[in-house]
Structure 1
């Protein structure tokens, strides 16, 4: 059996860091550090510079992932970018990343599944590798949400940040490591509780993000718990087999609730939402790159990646690192 193994992880965060205490001064938002932290766990976020885009940040994260994997860009067969803030309607942000990395072979395309995008992209990449269409793939989540939030709406604008994360997948045989399975879902009946009300691109656009926060929260924990249990059951595993939870970093309350449902101690749940805020499709690979870079997640550790986002979309991936 061919397995898609994570050979390297990378990340990129913009230089500009905006703590909660600076939001009022910089953006004129009537809020406080206490109000944001108590409701979300977020203390700061990173904001892209005017010249930065989803492709430039995604390429930076990809370079780091390739370097850590010890793999040359010329070996990459496929690039899949998950983003809700593409550079433009077309061409795909993935081909912009391909160009910036100097890759002239293989194929590249985007996936739009909002905050669940990285999990969707992992599932697609895994399927392509198992069918022999790629031997080495870059899977990237990259977002510039600062360009599509409504900075007059404190209920949403304080939640999001910019950044990118990437993993290098290699096809390997005879190993118990890699992606064990992915489980993807959507329900379009709830599409209007989290959406962008028009076109949007990380280099400019007209649409702004709108969210019914309480409704999204109501769906989050139950759907995420169910899909992680689905992934474990599909592999004949249980909660006790999990070493790590690497969740979408949307809200600390949701993350803590998921940890409790999986009977995982706090130190086995990767949390970056306090420093990165919600970076949508970039949040899981950013969290994974940080945890792996610090040596927390070790070779052979079983981890669950899970996310929920606009669509509604949700999903989970079970991975042995």
Structure 2
């Protein structure tokens, strides 16, 4: 029987991985009609990493990010109780988390995929937190990983300039309320606008002769950039304020703002609406582009490696994207310690 005591949650370790191949704006301008200046001024992106080769998949990046997170704290994979893989580009439509579980040797872990695109890592952290708070699991590996280069139409300059491939991972652990670092969260979905950002399924034109059954395939990624921008800039600040208010905290308490790395204009507009200095924005999309579910854990891991985030900093994390979904997590950062 599981304990009825509510537990705290701390982020014990992080890790990240990106492909070796880098595609800069100049090279993209040789593929579609665009330029480095056009891309940079509208998105803030200078280059992105792509997973090339026929035998590479999202699993390879997720495994590398996971092993880095485990190695930082010398944790044996058998100590992991649950693996949540947030991805919208699995290499198996039935899910990829179980393959990661096997390949990293997490023999005691339950594993499942979570599909929420660019909001996936935030939803993964929240889901993991609920399992820990209830006492169901103690150590949970949350991975955000996507290889949207496989789903981008490389003749469509409105989308091919934006996306890159990456993976990021975090290990969450049960702790006392005093050590608790996940202070609160706030989540939203509005499916009315789901068509603005999607990889839609399309039936073929010729049904099965006997069954009248249509079978098809998924199309390329589609995005209505103007509407997604309007949605993010209007809804993300409201989500952040609501989450802060629930904790009796204010914008002045924020040390770092870590948003999904979609577009530099969105990052700056959200910060401006909240009256937060741009110096407090954690951003790395100039190097990697929009890596979907990987963007937040990748940026978090880099910020920690650069010692930007220190003990007791308040970090506001917000994801937004397809669904349309969006959400906020308020974190009081705690230095890595084994429980």
Q: What TM-score bracket applies, with the shorter chain setting the length?
A: over 0.9
* Stretch deviating more after TM superposition (64-73 or 44-53): 64-73
Q: Is the 8 A contact 2:146 2:294 kept in 1?
A: yes
**C-alpha separation between the residues in 2 aligned to 1:5 and 1:262?**
26
1:4 match: 9
CA RMSD of the aligned region, Å? 1.3
Supply the distance in 1 between the matched residues of 2:148 and 2:80 (Cα, whole angstroms): 28
Secondary structure of the structure 1 residue equivalent to 2:320? strand
Following superposition, the deviation at residue 263 of structure 1 comes to 2.8
**Across the two proteins, how many residue pairs are aligned to each other?**
313
Aligned with 1:178 (options 164, 181, 186): 181
Give 2:317's aligned residue: 305
Partner of 1:62: 66
- TM-score with structure 2 length normalisation? 0.90
Structure 2 residue corresponding to 1:14, chosen from 16, 19, 23:
19
- Report the 3-state secondary structure (helix = DSSP H, G, I; strand = E; otherwise coil) of the residue aligned with 1:175: helix
Of residues 245, 256, 267 in structure 2, which corresponds to 1:255? Answer: 267
Q: Does 1:190 align with 2:193?
A: yes
CA distance in 1, matches of 2:56, 2:178: 39
Shift of 1:159: 0.4
Give 1:102's aligned residue. Answer: 105
Correspondence for 1:36: 39
Hey, what does 1:202 align to over in structure 2? none
The alpha-carbon deviation at position 228 of structure 1 amounts to 0.5
**Partner residue in 2 for 1:117:** 120
2:29 is matched with: 24
Contact kept? 1:249, 1:284, Cα under 8 Å: yes
2:257 aligned with 1:245? yes
- Within the candidate set 298, 303, 321, 1:291 is matched to 303
- Alpha carbons 2:13, 2:170 under 8 Å: kept: yes
Matched residue SS, 2:140 = strand
Q: Residue by residue, what CA displacement relative to the aligned partner does 1:69-91 show, whole Å, maximum 9, x if unpaired?
A: 3322111101001101011111x
Higher gyration radius (CA): 2
Where 2:123 maps in the other structure, the secondary structure is helix
In 1, Cα distance between equivalents of 2:258 and 2:35? 28
Q: Does 1:52 align with 2:56?
A: yes
Deviations 1:176-214 (A, max 9, x none): 441111211101100111100228xxxxx7421001110
Aligned equivalents of 2:97, 2:185: Cα separation in 1: 22
Paired residue for 1:143, among 138, 143, 146?
A: 146
Work out whether residues 78 and 109 of structure 2, in 8 Å CA contact, stay in contact via their aligned partners in 1: no
Shift in Å at residue 143 of structure 1? 0.4
Q: State how far apart, in whole Å, the 2-side matches of 1:278 and 1:106 are.
A: 30
- Quick check: 1:9–1:69 contact (8 Å CA) kept in 2? no
Contact 1:69 1:168 in 2 (8 A): no
Q: Is the 8 A contact 2:101 2:109 kept in 1?
A: no
Which residues of 2 match residues 74-85 of structure 1 at below 5 A? Answer: 74-85=78-89
1:219 counterpart (215, 231, 240): 231
Structure 1 residue matching 2:302: 3-state secondary structure: helix
Tell me which moved more, 177-186 or 33-42. Answer: 177-186
